[in-house]
């Protein structure tokens, strides 16, 4: 078998020729300005070897990929009580749907749809003294990367057009499942979605999900073995909106996408891979990103199944 570097270069060059039928997300005005031709991928192994191709060292807005990080911190702080506030079932609905919340009395189906991620932000808001700063510090510690930051322009842009999220948060609050101020929780949510990373940084920060006992450079445990298993399980079943089944079917790894066009996927005990291509398919997942990962796990015959 070719090595990872050769493999990702082959896949990249092949996919460069493929016509991209996706569309860049434009419901957040600032995201619509991104060059749609950006395309890159990076893989980091558990031994910290890194391989990259294309635009793998350009920063972009990770959007919903951040929901893994917020879930991790909330689970760490709140423990099993977290599941009283948010469920762990695939929703089978678009990421920003309001539909199920009424029937489910304001308890979101999972932490990766917007409703669930907003509740997770509320949980964090109750625990953290300075939520935006503390969340960022958590991300910096687990990645050993001090350069991470929010993109205020993108956060403000989403705030100015985030009508569905504003509706979701108010609706959940009416059921008592948001404890803090709607405005403050949403401001926090928009900021964590605006976090910027490169593919390389993404493939490094999520290494903690590839191992049972990941220890940060500062010597701290991130989460327990059981929590690692559970977060991977939720990624596999709920990480791609109402296309989670399709991603598991085609790629066979736990992962998470974002409307910025980024996707990360975890191969337990092997690697974390990140890919970025801003044009999204109809379900909101990166069109070429999914193709890239499908080819990668096929060529390496390495999936969790
Ligand atoms: N900030 C985005 C929103 O709430 C995230 C969506 C996503 O990446 O799935 O709409």
* Token pair of 89 as six digits: 């079932």
Candidates 251, 222, 255, 253; CA nearest to 241 is 255
For the chain, the average pLDDT equals 96
pLDDT at 235: 98
pTM for the full predicted model: 0.97
Considering only CA atoms, which residue is closest to atom 4 of ligand 1?
A: 114
Atom of ligand 1 nearest to the CA of 64: 8
pLDDT at 191: 98
SS3 304: coil
Candidates 97, 89, 258, 86; CA nearest to 167 is 97
122 Cα to the center of ligand 1, angstroms: 16
Distance, CA of 257 to CA of 259 (rounded, Å): 7
Q: Is-contact 199 276, C-beta < 8 A?
A: yes
Average pLDDT on 26-50 reads 96
**CATH architecture of structural domain 4-298:** 3-Layer(aba) Sandwich (3.40)
| Residue 262 φ then ψ, to 5° | -90, 150
Average pLDDT on 139-148 reads 97
pLDDT at 250: 97
Average pLDDT on 140-146 reads 97
Average pLDDT on 273-297 reads 97
| Residue 134 φ then ψ, to 5° | -65, -40
Q: Is-contact 194 61, C-beta < 8 A?
A: yes
Average pLDDT on 140-147 reads 97
Tell me the pLDDT tens digit for each residue of 126-135.
999 999 999 9
pLDDT at 2: 77
Does 64 sit in the ligand 1 pocket, CB within 6 Å? yes
Atom of ligand 1 nearest to the CA of 63: 8
Average pLDDT on 113-131 reads 98
Report CA 198 to chain centroid distance, whole Å: 13
Considering only CA atoms, which residue is closest to atom 3 of ligand 1?
A: 114
pLDDT classification of 1: cutoffs 50, 70, 90: low
Distance, CA of 262 to CA of 62 (rounded, Å): 6
Distance, CA of 116 to CA of 104 (rounded, Å): 12
Tell me the pLDDT tens digit for each residue of 222-265.
999 999 999 999 999 999 989 999 999 999 999 999 999 999 99
pLDDT at 236: 98
pLDDT classification of 97: cutoffs 50, 70, 90: confident
Q: Which of 26, 156, 158, 196 to mutate to test the pocket of ligand 1 (most atoms within 8 A of CB)?
A: 158
Does 95 sit in the ligand 1 pocket, CB within 6 Å? yes
Does 154 sit in the ligand 1 pocket, CB within 6 Å? no
Atom of ligand 1 nearest to the CA of 190: 1
Q: Is-contact 289 277, C-beta < 8 A?
A: yes
Distance, CA of 101 to CA of 176 (rounded, Å): 12
């Amino acid at each position: 078998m070719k090595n990872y570097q050769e493999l990702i270069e082959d896949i990249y060059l092949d996919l460069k020729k493929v016509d991209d039928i996706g569309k860049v997300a434009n419901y957040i005005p600032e995201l619509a300005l991104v060059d749609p031709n950006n395309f890159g991928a990076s893989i980091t192994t558990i031994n910290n070897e890194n391989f990259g191709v294309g635009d793998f060292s350009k920063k972009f807005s990770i959007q919903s990929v951040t929901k893994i990080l917020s879930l991790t911190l909330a689970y760490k702080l709140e423990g099993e009580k977290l599941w009283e506030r948010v469920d762990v079932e695939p929703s089978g609905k678009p990421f920003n749907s309001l539909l199920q919340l009424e029937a489910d009395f304001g308890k979101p189906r999972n932490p990766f749809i917007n409703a669930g991620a907003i509740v997770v932000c509320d949980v964090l808001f109750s625990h953290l003294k300075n939520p935006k700063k503390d969340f960022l510090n958590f991300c910096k510690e687990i990645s050993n990367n001090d350069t991470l930051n929010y993109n205020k322009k993108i956060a403000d842009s989403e705030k100015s057009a985030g009508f569905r999220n504003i509706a979701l948060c108010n609706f959940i609050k009416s059921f008592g499942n948001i404890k803090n101020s709607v405005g403050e929780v949403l401001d926090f949510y928009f900021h964590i979605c605006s976090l910027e990373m490169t593919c390389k940084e993404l493939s490094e920060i999520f290494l903690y999900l590839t191992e049972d006992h990941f220890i940060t450079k500062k010597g701290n445990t991130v989460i327990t073995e059981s929590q690692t298993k559970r977060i991977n399980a939720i990624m596999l079943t709920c990480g791609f909106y109402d296309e989670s089944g399709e991603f598991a079917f085609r790629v066979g790894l736990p992962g998470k996408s974002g409307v910025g066009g980024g996707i990360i996927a975890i191969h337990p005990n092997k690697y974390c891979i990140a890919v970025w291509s801003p044009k999204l398919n109809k379900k909101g997942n990166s069109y070429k990103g999914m193709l890239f990962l499908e080819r990668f796990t096929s060529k390496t015959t390495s999936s969790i199944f």
